[in-house]
Structure 1
């Protein structure tokens, strides 16, 4: 089958989603998820006023790129940006013409359910400053933040925090180690006129989280600890925990396969009784039910209970082979 045939099939499956997106003022979504839809390593997204093609395993030929571009412009005539990330470090390998290069490296504005987000089609990361598969998480937070305080851990560009603020949160604390990501988060808050309720804390998650939980800040194997912002013990109505798969720092190790609990336990302590903690795990090999059972056990070991829970499943633009998406998101109400 040709690339255009695969893409046509993917677009047909998304007909209802794209219709809903237009009605809800959403112009950022995935139109081709290659791993599942026929071409491994090829993703095609709409980000605001542009189509973005990214190949992670093999570079596209000029003919293949033209074939995809022709199909996309039949849907809507927008600039088409191609990022060849097939090198082992996933950095962009290809050059663009002057006009497209200028466009791809400038900040753009896209919309999701009417919320404005800053976007940049080319930068050091692999996404233009917003993970599209987390749309369901942003929707949940927006719908469940009115008159609530929200803690957004590993906030990246603060998409979750922005959605919470737009949803009527009274206080949103975004915590991330990256000044670049937090700068984009501040822009998102400004675009939506919610800067007054948003805080941006540049910090390693471990010391920030342990302080908020009222715990002592410690390091790995007595390593000398770098400076970190001082925070008072605080509990929140809604806590959002979306850590990376694996990361090391002097303060601890993030390991979603073997030790999710090292983050979940202090995050739970920052969650008020009757509050909600939303947990994310993006590792495909982690079994959904086993992970959920481990979370419940952690809650019970702290003498608390899970009074209700809801799974937040990714939208139709991110299909999976068996209906179990690698990104698992569960919202726990804890007493």
Structure 2
């Protein structure tokens, strides 16, 4: 243990405690990708996730009052702790540094050119993750339960996945027997990744479509009552150069969701989620027959007390 960093044992003790508990639960539920730690101790501002035999570790940017060399030594000491506690060789630990406040666009910029891609399993399905090049790995672990709900409801349905990112909801919908899944995203990179995830699972690609478009403009092109099941998981803010309008989810969610509901068949279901901490749903302004806040029931064991996102099940 590095004596030059006296608070390191505090980090180690926390990690030992949470990992022991979470690993048991993960094994019991047959889950191989899960979050272990998220900013639990302010002096150790990391998010740490297990992806099968690898560990993904992101450092949130904070003022740490260390010189660069000292900070590097501190990081190395932290990685050593993580390697020991999580029983993972250091070369299987991938470290990223991220800003605390940012739009989703910045979050998705490519960070480096070393590539570490691997295929992981979740609920018997395969997903490509990238632990080295982007700030996010390609699989949002907090939506594991929500994805299961989509799979349970998808049989025989036309499914629309908006802001589809790498298509994990699309894969679950196809696995649930959807008659067709349309995945829409503004990023060609993520759309290609979504298609790759679908192919990895051996689905017949014929009924599935991948649409490169600005979601808001795309919704205007849809005939009313086209889809039975819709997933909407937008960024909190987006001002991508390719987007016609600047998206602010608090300000724009009513018009966005009413457009979605217009494209949804009567009795159809919309799963809507977002990460804005102070988000409030203007339920009274939505053209819906029922709205349920399912944030609590979609919160996986490894995100309890740590999760800021909201999730709703909206019926037309």
* TM-score, normalised with respect to structure 2: 0.81
Structure 1 residues 169, 24: CA separation in 2 closer, same or farther (over 3 Å shift)?
Answer: farther
State the Cα distance separating 1:160 from its structure 2 match. 0.8
Shift of 1:66: 3.3
| Bigger mean CA deviation after superposition, 306-315 or 73-82 | 306-315
Q: CA deviation at 1:144?
A: 1.8
Q: Would you say 1:298 and 2:292 are equivalent positions?
A: no
**Which of 252, 256, 260 in structure 2 is aligned with 1:263?**
256
Is residue 2:53 matched to residue 1:49? yes
Structure 1 unmatched ranges of 5 or more: 96-100, 215-232
Equivalent residue number for residue 84 of structure 1: 97
Measure, in 2, the Cα distance between the counterparts of 1:20 and 1:279. 27
Which deviates the most, 308-317 or 175-184?
308-317
Answer yes or no: is the 8 Å Cα contact 1:48–1:108 preserved in 2: no
- Of the three residues 276, 282, 285, the one matched with 2:275 is 282
Counterpart CA distance in 2 for 1:308 and 1:245 is 20
- How far the C-alpha of 1:140 sits from its partner, in A, is 1.7
Note the aligned Cα RMSD (angstroms).
Answer: 2.9
Change beyond 3 A, Cα 1:85–1:9: same
- Going from structure 1 to structure 2, the CA distance change for 1:195 and 1:306 (only over 3 Å counts) comes to same
CA 2–317 in structure 1, closer or farther in 2 if over 3 Å, else same: farther
Q: Name the CA shift for 1:282/1:86 in 2 (closer, same or farther; >3 Å).
A: closer
Secondary structure of 1:257's counterpart equals helix
**Counterpart for residue 86 of structure 2:** 75
1:52-111 Cα distance to aligned partner (Å, 9 max, x none): 111121585434433443444443335112223369977788x9xxxxx85xx1321112
Distance 1:151 1:63, change over 3 A: same
Contact 1:175 1:200 in 2 (8 A): yes
- Once residues 126 and 19 of structure 2 are traced to their aligned partners in structure 1, the CA distance between those partners, rounded to angstroms, is 23
Tell me: CA distance 1:64–1:16, structure 2 relative to 1, closer, same or farther (3 Å): same
Q: Pick which of 14-23 and 178-187 moved more.
A: 14-23
Change (3 A) 1:318 1:206: same
Residue pair 2:291, 2:312 contacting (<8 A) in 1 also = no
TM-score (norm: length of structure 1):
0.77
Q: 3-state DSSP class of the match of 2:172? A: helix
Which residue does 2:216 correspond to in 1?
206
Deviation at 1:30, TM superposition (A): 0.9
Give the aligned partner of residue 305 of structure 2: 320
8 A Cα contact 1:33 1:319, kept in partner:
no
Provide the rounded CA distance (Å) in 1 between the counterparts of 2:308 and 2:305: 8
Correspondence for 1:330: 312
CA-CA distance at 1:319 after TM superposition: 3.5
User: How do 1:62-211 and structure 2 match up within 5 A?
Assistant: 62-78=73-89, 79-85=92-98, 105-123=115-133, 125-196=134-205, 197-211=207-221
Residues 161 and 183, structure 2, Cα contact 8 Å, conserved in 1: yes
Q: For residue 168 of structure 1, report the CA deviation from its aligned partner.
A: 1.7
Distance in 1 between the 2:123 and 2:13 partners? 25
Deviation at 1:268, TM superposition (A): 0.6
Q: Deviations over 1:6-34 (max 9, x none)?
A: 35435534655433433444322111111
CA distance in structure 2 between the partners assigned to 1:280 and 1:67 by the alignment: 33
Q: Is the 8 A contact 2:293 2:311 kept in 1?
A: no
CA distance in 2, matches of 1:120, 1:64: 21
Partner SS, residue 317 of structure 1: helix
In structure 2, what is the equivalent of residue 223 of structure 1? none
